[in-house]
Structure 1
Amino acid sequence: MQIEGVITKKLTKHCDDRGFFAEVLRDDDKLLTNFGQLSWSTTYPGVIKAFHYHEEQDDIWFFPSGNAQVVLYDLRENSSTKGKTNVFYMGENNPMILLIPKGVAHGYRVIGDQSATIIYCTTKSYNPKKPDEKRIPWNDETIGFNWETQNR
Structure 2
Amino acid sequence: MIKATETKLKGCFVLEPTIHEDERGFFFESYNHKDFCEAIGQEVNFVQDNFSFSTKGVLRGLHYQKGEYAQGKLVSVLKGRIQDVVVDLRKDSPTFAQHLSIELSEKNKKQLFVPKGFAHGFLVLSETAHLFYKCDNYYNKEAEEGIKYDDKHLMIDWQMASDHILLSERDKRWQTTLPI
Query: Scaled by the length of structure 2, what TM-score is found?
Result: 0.74
Q: Distance in 2 between matches of 1:116 and 1:54?
A: 23
Higher helix proportion: 2
* Structure-1 residue corresponding to 2:119: 105
Runs of 4+ in 1 over 6 A off after TM superposition: none
Q: Distance in 2 between matches of 1:125 and 1:73?
A: 20
* Structure-2 residue corresponding to 1:75: 89
> Cα offset for 1:58?
0.5
Seq. identity, %: 30
What is the DSSP-based 3-state SS (H/G/I as helix, E as strand, rest coil) of the residue aligned with 1:76?
coil
- Residue type of the alignment partner of 1:104: F
How many aligned positions are there? 147
Q: Distance in 2 between matches of 1:149 and 1:126?
A: 29
> Cα offset for 1:149?
4.2
Q: Distance in 1 between matches of 2:138 and 2:61?
A: 20
Moved more, 50-59 or 13-22: 13-22
* Structure-1 residue corresponding to 2:62: 51
* Structure-2 residue corresponding to 1:126: 139
In the TM superposition, what whole-angstrom CA distance separates every residue of 1:27-82 from its partner, at most 9, and x where no partner exists?
A: 11115521210111111011111201123221110002100111111111011111
Q: Distance in 1 between matches of 2:159 and 2:111?
A: 24
Q: Distance in 1 between matches of 2:105 and 2:18?
A: 13
> Cα offset for 1:13?
2.3
2:22 equivalent to 1:16:
yes
RMSD: 1.9
Query: Scaled by the length of structure 1, what TM-score is found?
Result: 0.86
What is the DSSP-based 3-state SS (H/G/I as helix, E as strand, rest coil) of the residue aligned with 2:151?
coil
* Structure-2 residue corresponding to 1:92: 106
- Residue type of the alignment partner of 2:81: N
